[in-house]
Chains A and B, each alone.
Chain A
Amino acid sequence: MAELQFREAIRAAIDEEMAQDEDIFVMGEEVAEYDGAYKVTEGLLDKYGSKRMIDTPISELGFAGIGVGAAMNGLRPIVEFMTFNFAVLAADQIINHASKVKYMTGGQVNVPIVFRGPNASAGQLSATHSVSYDAMYAHFPGLKVIYTSEPADAKGLLKSAIRDDNPVLFMESEQMYGLKGEVPEEDDFTIPIGKAKVKREGGDVTVVAHGKMYHVATQAAQKLAKDGGVEVEIIDPRTVKPLDIETIVKSIKKTNRCVIVDEAHPFGGLAAEVGYLIQREAFDYLDAPVQRVTLPDTNAPFAKNLFDEWLPSPDQVIDAINTVTYRK
């Protein structure tokens, strides 16, 4: 095992894949000469040159589409968005083109492309820079969506995403880039897309949390274990789509209770979907209605106190756990 920062794990995945496949290139704003807005791609220009590390203008729609076209024509682009908040401008290329070309042409062409970058909020950046987009893209058939929480998952899943012959959205977080974690050093370490992971075992309640919210859930679980004797089982879906509902259901059959933590708005998000699936697959096993902790149904405010109120917190998770365990 090696201890890597999140950004180093992502860089290692890109680097290893680029080293073994000439058709892989990286494209995005400030990825090359600036070494990446968040230093994820640092050093890769020196190693791979300006043919394979491409700085783009601020033209999200255009460069996402150039990526899709290049993927159709035999290359394997990794397109970086400075955040997925700016990928909204590229949504036409992702939703109308990347996800549909293969289907529309009766399977004549694959679109092996990775769109990656930070998702959701990163502190007080106000309304246009703080939205979580994983569930929105997961809504559309033809796209795979990954939003990881720890360096090892990031490395293993990004390598799989780059090798995947389909369009994959791979999401990170500005606030997690410096986070350190153990990453297996084995040659060619990969994690299959579509597999959740039980990250903490416990018998009292299942908490489903991914991305940045995994860490919020972990804090809540640690606090509860210390003060209240409630043992939380945490499941990190890692891949939003395809979603590994079996692992979640298996856990609920043991704990009979579930809280979903999601850094998205409540309407139609991952929490809504997982909640539905649980009632369909595990209705008879539930001892309490499934609860969720999400953002409120409002835009992101700038003011520090409002922002802290807006973002899901460990205390809110504890409240929800107390509700499903009837401890309050």
Chain B
Amino acid sequence: MADKKKETEEVTFTPTGTGIRTNGEIIRSTELPEPTDKKHDELGLSDDDVIDMYDQMYLQRRFEERAMQMYQKGKFGGFLHLYMGQEAISTGTAYALNDDDDIITAYRDHGWGLVRGVSPKEGMAELYGKETGCSNGKGGSMHFANIEEHFWGGYGIVGGHIPLGGGIAFANKYKQNGRVTACFLGDGAVPQGALHETMNMSQNWGLPCIYAVENNGYAMGTAVHRHSTGEIVDRADGFDMKKMVMNGMDVFTVYEKMKEIATDIRENSQPWFVEIRTYRYRGHSMSDPMKYRTKEELEEYEKLDPVERMKNYLLDEDIIDEDKVEEIKSSVEDTVMEAIEFAEESDYPEKEALYDHMFAEDDYPFHT
């Protein structure tokens, strides 16, 4: 019989500590890799492309700033999880993939919807729960979707949509249509069993899917080193899966890397596991006191703001001037304000809509 361990040491379980740094030192899975040093033309992007990318990023930002104000005014209810700070990921990915490649994500989904054809009007109306919303007012903030344009939606059960991403990729391989699926998840979803089961099958079956972690440092109030061991990206090793870590605050980096990965997947039909490091500027949802991080940490990342960074690039490279920037901003502002007006003026769904969209047939005998 082995000796019993002495009972003198203090027992601990979950690692403790606020923030993603301790005494100035980065803990794990949060150091930002260098962004790409390529210019837009070296990446095959035209001036118009990059102006368009900025326009799109600024739209995502402004849409949410205004949505937040409307929420605070009590114009609509439910959860509101803001994507602010992460716009380079949605934008870089959407530009890197083909329009018929598939995207699926979790509940922090406004940016993904907007970049994949949910109009600001349909998006805002969905937040308001109006019948003109992209999901007919049935889903709200967490369930933006535009399946026609291969955006399969936002999902509210952490990790629940990961196997769905695998299944969409499975169907694409089955039909040999050459489409790539990009399945986005938060760092908080990494510890869910669903990810690991799906990664195993995906590698073994050669599914054409990118499992991309948007690591913004926190799952609600839990810093990444408190919820996950080791480096997140190394999860790939156990499955012999190709992997990459990238800077998620720079849209060109995301564009460049996602394009390379998609090309590889199209050639080899093997999945990738990608960790994209980023930061969430707002609280987890609207009721988060944010005691788990310091103001200094937030400010440090605000200096890296992906939207500002893109604007500065456009100015520094003389692609556009200050006047043009103002023009883009005010046109986006108009678009967002029109969206709010549209949402406010739209009708709520008819009472009968409660029973719509439950089954394929429209005469299902509901139980009473």
What is the interface of chain A, defined by CB distance below 8 A to chain B?
Answer: 29-30, 32-34, 37, 50-51, 54-59, 61-62, 85-86, 88-89, 123-129, 265-267, 296-299, 301-306, 309-310
A303:B348 contact, CB within 8 angstroms:
yes
Cα distance A58–B158 when bound, in Å?
Answer: 8
B222:A55 contact, CB within 8 angstroms:
yes
Residues of B within 8 A of A129 (CB): 156
A55:B137 contact, CB within 8 angstroms:
no
Cα distance A68–B11 when bound, in Å?
Answer: 20
Closest Cβ–Cβ distance, residue A146 to chain B (whole Å): 25
Secondary structure call for the B interface: loop
> In the complex, which residue of chain B has the Cβ closest to the Cβ of A306?
B354
- Kindly supply a per-residue 1/0 record for chain B positions 197-238, scoring 1 wherever the CB is within 8 Å of any chain A CB and 0 otherwise: 000000000000000000000011110001110000000000
| 19 new A-B contacts at CB < 8 Å, known A34-B291, A302-B139, A302-B140 | A50-B12, A50-B13, A57-B227, A58-B158, A86-B157, A125-B140, A126-B143, A127-B143, A128-B155, A128-B160, A267-B367, A297-B366, A298-B355, A301-B137, A303-B349, A303-B353, A306-B129, A306-B137, A306-B348
Residues of A within 8 A of B130 (CB): 303
| Known A-B contacts A59-B192, A298-B354; A124 and B221 likewise in contact (beta carbons under 8 Å) | no
B77:A296 contact, CB within 8 angstroms:
no
A32:B14 contact, CB within 8 angstroms:
yes
A33:B11 contact, CB within 8 angstroms:
no
Closest Cβ–Cβ distance, residue A128 to chain B (whole Å): 5
Residues of A within 8 A of B292 (CB): 33-34
State which of A37, A85, A124, A306 has its C-beta within 8 Å of the C-beta of B349.
A306
Secondary structure call for the A interface: loop
> In the complex, which residue of chain B has the Cβ closest to the Cβ of A60?
B192
Residues of B within 8 A of A57 (CB): 188, 191, 219, 222, 227-228
Central interface residue in A30, A54, A55, A302, by most chain B CB within 10 Å? A302
Cα distance A124–B138 when bound, in Å?
Answer: 10
Closest Cβ–Cβ distance, residue A245 to chain B (whole Å): 24
Residues of A within 8 A of B291 (CB): 34
| Known A-B contacts A30-B222, A33-B292, A303-B138; A51 and B358 likewise in contact (beta carbons under 8 Å) | no
Cα distance A58–B189 when bound, in Å?
Answer: 7
State which of B10, B129, B193, B351 has its C-beta within 8 Å of the C-beta of A124.
B129
State which of A51, A123, A299, A305 has its C-beta within 8 Å of the C-beta of B12.
A51
> In the complex, which residue of chain B has the Cβ closest to the Cβ of A300?
B138
B129:A304 contact, CB within 8 angstroms:
yes
Cα distance A125–B79 when bound, in Å?
Answer: 7
Interface presence of B159 (CB below 8 A) = yes
A34:B77 contact, CB within 8 angstroms:
no
Interface presence of B142 (CB below 8 A) = yes
Interface presence of B23 (CB below 8 A) = no
| Known A-B contacts A30-B220, A302-B137, A302-B138; A50 and B16 likewise in contact (beta carbons under 8 Å) | yes
Cα distance A296–B36 when bound, in Å?
Answer: 54
Cα distance A303–B135 when bound, in Å?
Answer: 10
Closest Cβ–Cβ distance, residue B197 to chain A (whole Å): 11
- Kindly supply a per-residue 1/0 record for chain B positions 111-137, scoring 1 wherever the CB is within 8 Å of any chain A CB and 0 otherwise: 000000000000000000111000101
Residues of A within 8 A of B228 (CB): 57
Residues of A within 8 A of B14 (CB): 32, 50, 54-56
State which of A50, A56, A301 has its C-beta within 8 Å of the C-beta of B138.
A301
A51:B13 contact, CB within 8 angstroms:
yes
Interface presence of B176 (CB below 8 A) = no
Cα distance A310–B354 when bound, in Å?
Answer: 8
